[in-house]
Amino acid sequence: MNFKNIFRWHLPFLMLLGLLSFRAVAADNLLIIGDSLSAVYRLPVAESWPTLLNNKWQKEGDKPTIINASISGDTAEQGLARLQTLLEQHHPRWVLIELGANDGLRGFPPQTISQTLTQIISQIKQANAQPLLMQIRLPPNYGRRYGDAFYAIYPALAKQENIPLVPFFMEQVAVKPEWMQDDGLHPALAAQSFIAGWMSEKLTPLLTH
């Protein structure tokens, strides 16, 4: 038996198996693409809710690694502009979309925001990843009519695209003044541990293979 010939003929198959195995490991990530609510504005990264959640999940095992690609100030359009590079770099299995708040704060038309989020969802699906869309709500001082139209974007998209809608953690945080920074928009350090635990509870059932 010529083992050299056997190895030569099976080498492409073995290389393919190795590549698939590598991709399976590399793909077991949860990518967060968001704004300052996930980039944790003015707080240490090490004490942010994405970092705390990742630490919790790594201790538990059998959970994805969290890659937090959020940038403070990002609009949905800015998130879309850098999404493809992130998908190619990290090969995530899931992508949590936490975008739109800055669009709403700037008064962008709801239809425009919806169209951009639809493009983000489509691009994630094309990369064979599972989009997870977070509901966003604007502060009440932006007007009820616009606020309601903005809020309605998210459940409509989740239904249209048949993807999970993740509840908005700020609705749990904003009711406690001691959990808010002095700008009235961003969670304080004291809220980060709560958000990590709350997000773990909401996300874990969605992390199906």
Per-residue pLDDT, averaged over 82-109, amounts to 97
148 is annotated as an active-site residue: no
Can you give the pLDDT at residue 7?
40
The residue from 35, 36, 48, 90 that is catalytic is 36
Total Cβ atoms within 10 A of residue 83: 21
Query: What does the pLDDT look like over 134-192, one tens digit per residue?
Result: 999 999 888 899 999 999 999 999 999 999 999 999 999 999 999 999 999 999 999 99
For residue 25, name the pLDDT band (cuts at 50, 70, 90): very low
Measure the CA–CA gap between 129 and 59, rounded to whole angstroms. 24
Active site residue 36: yes
Catalytic position from the list 35, 38, 74, 186: 186
Section 93-107 average pLDDT: 97
In this model, does residue 204 exceed pLDDT 90? yes
What pLDDT is stored for residue 140 in this prediction? Answer: 87
**Given 62, 182, 183, 209, the catalytic residue:** 183
Catalytic annotation present for 182: no
8 A C-beta contact, residue 168 and residue 202: no
Other Cβ atoms less than 10 A from the Cβ of 134: the count is: 26
Residue 32 has pLDDT above 80, yes or no: yes
pLDDT band at 209, cuts 50/70/90? low
